[in-house]
Structure 1
């Protein structure tokens, strides 16, 4: 689910969106602010999009919008956890700097990007990149790391077993040229 706060002049719209705060054991609604950054590459200027801020709840985003209303684009996305991605979550949490990954689509009318999904699984982010989507990353805040650890503790670690091939021993015999006795 994606919701946007872009115009601070319509407080009733913002209040309606902000009242829908969600945080459960497997879903956390986060506010994401993205901004274009101009980067010079040789003689050329290019625009790269970055996540500027991540809000753990809607009320903190609302307070920040009231103090700094200038041309801000904030999107609210649900960070949904899935049991079959536990191995990817553990891999991310064990990395030096765990990250959150945001998949975006390009809006060609104004050359901006629109965040669509967020995940803590690097495998999912890799699939998005393979599909030629724009993927932004942001260091995972400590509070989200603790929440993710609690999810892992509640549901256990996912241990992926390799399926043993039925005739694996026969393949070894062919390779060595000896029969097993």
Structure 2
């Protein structure tokens, strides 16, 4: 299966990502970057269009990111949308090209956000999920409910007779010698 072929239950949607750059008083780093909003569609503006500016900060439309929903991840989507603050995670990477950061992607899957955070190369932050995206994800989870069944593991019962049948290491292994009394 090629990388552009997806299972039939997969759905995708493009979102626009707005980032904020803040000036830092730091000898090693000039700016910090963080997502401030995800738009439920993609505007006509080209990536890195300046949207707003204030003292020490500038907001940019960073570009489009694709949110992809997979049936086997519906349990994590449900966890996200049922949380106190449903979120869209945005993934950024430092870049050697202007403006010094690149939009790497976005997701509504907390597990995917965790995986990106573990790489150490990505900047991972979340923004509140827009109502239109929340409605889309909620409908997807309704149509593709989580299928994982949770089973409570049961411990094996201890066999008290098994302990009595154990042999000592030196008795069962001819290469070992019985310790000598000193």
Please give the TM-score of this superposition, normalised by the length of structure 1: 0.65
The number of aligned residues is: 147
Corresponding residue of 1:27: 12
Corresponding residue of 2:100: 112
Say which structure is richer in helix.
1
Q: 1:62 aligns with which of 21, 41, 44?
A: 44
Rg larger in 1 or in 2? Answer: 2
CA contact (8 A) 2:91 2:103 kept: yes
Query: 1:33-52 to 2 correspondence within 5 Å?
Result: 33-39=18-24, 47-52=31-36
Query: 1:72-83 to 2 correspondence within 5 Å?
Result: 72-83=60-71
Please give the TM-score of this superposition, normalised by the length of structure 2: 0.65
Corresponding residue of 1:159: 148
In structure 1, the gaps of 5 or more residues are: 1-23
* Superposed displacement of residue 121, structure 1: 0.8
Structure 1's 46 and 97: CA in aligned 2 closer, same or farther, altered over 3 A? farther
CA distance in 1, matches of 2:68, 2:91: 14
Residues 102-161 of structure 1: per-residue CA shift (max 9 Å, x gap): 112111344622112211111111111111121121111111111101001111123243
Instruction: Report the RMSD for the aligned CA atoms in angstroms.
Output: 3.6
CA contact (8 A) 2:19 2:34 kept: yes
- 1:62 is paired with a residue whose SS is coil
In structure 2, the gaps of 5 or more residues are: 1-8, 54-58, 163-182
* Superposed displacement of residue 68, structure 1: 5.2
